[in-house]
């Protein structure tokens, strides 16, 4: 068959009965293929069970079928020019598939903002995407201050979470049921006051009394929220509240050092 592109066709052995069907990726902006219908196997789905997204329906719309369209899963094949034979529309939206529940993240963030009353039910299941956002924001604010600390923040958060995990579980004894995932999630969410502090510290003169008092206030805020959450969420933290509070204080003072100096 005469082809316009020099890209050799990728032929999948299981494409039922039509070995000449080319599954090609077209670079964006390429000239449109002449309209051409690859025969859709009647037993649609399991033709290529492992790579459903490869069977493009190229002929349905012309040209602007850009390469990036299949990534927008939420477009469910209708708006885009590409659709997998049959199963694409049924795929869940990308964020849901990744487990990022933005509404929940927003609610959890708002609950941290109140240092006096802590809502522990929201934080029952840990998630790492909120902390990831906070850490990125923290790194960005540090960058604005001229310090490139992304890797250090990540490493220190991991070490701090491990430290809290070990201390909490050892203190709580045999009934300690804090797991590392939830611990990292809690430490990350309670970083929010630190992120706010790093934003505010950009406007405050370096080394004055103001920045130290602000640091004290924000560290205490973080510690209070973190301790309250840890004690509520994991069992047997109650009789060791002061001990756990001191451990959290150490963790957040460590991060405040990054911001102050």
Partner 1 sequence: MILGCNFGSVAHTDMYNNLGNPAGVQGPNVNPQPNPFGNAFYGAGSGLIRGGLGAYGEKFLGSSSEFMQSNISRYFSNPQYYFQVNEQYVRNKVKVILFPLLHRGHWTRITEPVGGRLSYKPPIYDINAPDLYIPFMAFGTYIILAGFTIGLMGKFSPEAMSMQFTRGLAGWFIEVLLLKGLLYSLGGGEAPLLDLVAYSGYAFTGLSLTLLARLCWSYSYYALMPWMSLCMGIFLVKTMKRVFFTEMRSYEKHSSRQHYLLLFMAIAQFPLFFWLGKISA
As measured in angstroms, the least distance from the Cβ of 240 to partner 1 is 7
Minimum Å gap between C-beta 91 and partner 1 is 20
Please report where in the chains the tokens 């992120």 appear, as a residue: 195
How many of the chain's residues bind partner 1 (CB under 8 A)? 34
Measured from the CB atom, is 103 or 174 closer to partner 1?
A: 174
Nearest to partner 1 of 11, 243 (CB atom): 243
Name which of residues 124 to 183 contact partner 1 (CB under 8 A): 126, 128, 149, 152, 156, 163, 165, 167, 169-171, 173-174, 176-182
Q: Any contact of residue 236 with partner 1 (CB under 8 A)? A: no
Handedness of CA 164, 166, 171, 173 (dihedral sign): positive
Q: Under the phi-then-psi rule, with left for phi > 0, alpha for psi from -120 to 50, and beta for the rest, what region is 207?
A: left
The count of other CB atoms within 10 Å of the CB of residue 181 is: 14
Q: Please tell me what DSSP assigns to residue 245.
A: H
Measured from the CB atom, the residue of 23 and 147 that comes closer to partner 1 is 147
Nearer Cβ to partner 1 (12/181): 181
238 binds partner 1 (CB under 8 A): no
Closest among 111, 110, 108 to 125, alpha carbons compared:
108
In a 10 Å sphere around its CB, with 0-12 CB exposed, 13-18 middle and 19+ buried, how is residue 16 labelled? Answer: middle
237 binds partner 1 (CB under 8 A): no
Tell the smallest beta-carbon distance from residue 180 to partner 1 (Å). Answer: 5
As a whole number of angstroms, the distance between CA 6 and CA 9 comes to 9
Task: Tell me how far, at minimum, the Cβ of 221 lies from partner 1, in Å.
Answer: 18
Binding flag, residue 47, partner 1 (CB under 8 A): no
DSSP 18-84: -TT----PPPTTPPPPPP--PPPPSS-GGGSSS-GGGS--GGGS-S---TTGGG-GGGTTTSSS---
Interaction of residue 108 with partner 1, rule CB under 8 A: no
List interacting residues with partner 1 (CB under 8 A). 126, 128, 149, 152, 156, 163, 165, 167, 169-171, 173-174, 176-182, 184, 239-240, 242-243, 246-247, 250, 253-254, 257-258, 260-261
């Amino acid at each position: 068959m005469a082809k316009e592109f020099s890209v050799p066709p990728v032929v999948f052995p299981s494409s039922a009965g039509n070995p000449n069907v080319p599954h090609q990726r077209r670079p964006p902006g390429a000239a449109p293929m002449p309209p051409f219908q690859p025969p859709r196997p009647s037993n649609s789905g399991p033709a290529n069970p492992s790579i459903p997204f490869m069977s493009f329906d190229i002929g349905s719309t012309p040209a602007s079928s850009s390469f990036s369209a299949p990534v927008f899963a939420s477009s469910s094949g209708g708006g885009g020019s590409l659709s997998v034979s049959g199963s694409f529309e049924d795929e869940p939206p990308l964020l849901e598939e990744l487990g990022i529940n933005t509404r929940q993240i927003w609610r959890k963030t708002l609950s941290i903002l109140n240092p006096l009353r802590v809502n522990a039910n929201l934080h029952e299941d840990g998630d790492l995407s909120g902390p990831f956002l906070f850490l990125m924001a923290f790194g960005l604010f540090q960058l604005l201050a001229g310090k490139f600390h992304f890797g250090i923040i990540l490493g220190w958060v991991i070490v701090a979470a491990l430290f809290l995990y070990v201390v909490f579980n050892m203190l709580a004894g045999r009934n300690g049921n804090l797991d590392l995932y939830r611990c990292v999630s809690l430490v990350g969410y309670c970083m929010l006051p630190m992120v706010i502090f790093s934003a505010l510290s950009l406007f405050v003169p370096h080394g004055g009394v103001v920045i130290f008092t602000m640091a004290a206030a924000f560290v205490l805020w973080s510690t209070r929220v973190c301790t309250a959450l840890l004690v509520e969420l994991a069992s047997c933290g109650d009789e060791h509240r002061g001990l756990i509070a001191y451990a959290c204080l150490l963790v957040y003072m460590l991060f405040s050092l990054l911001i102050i100096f």
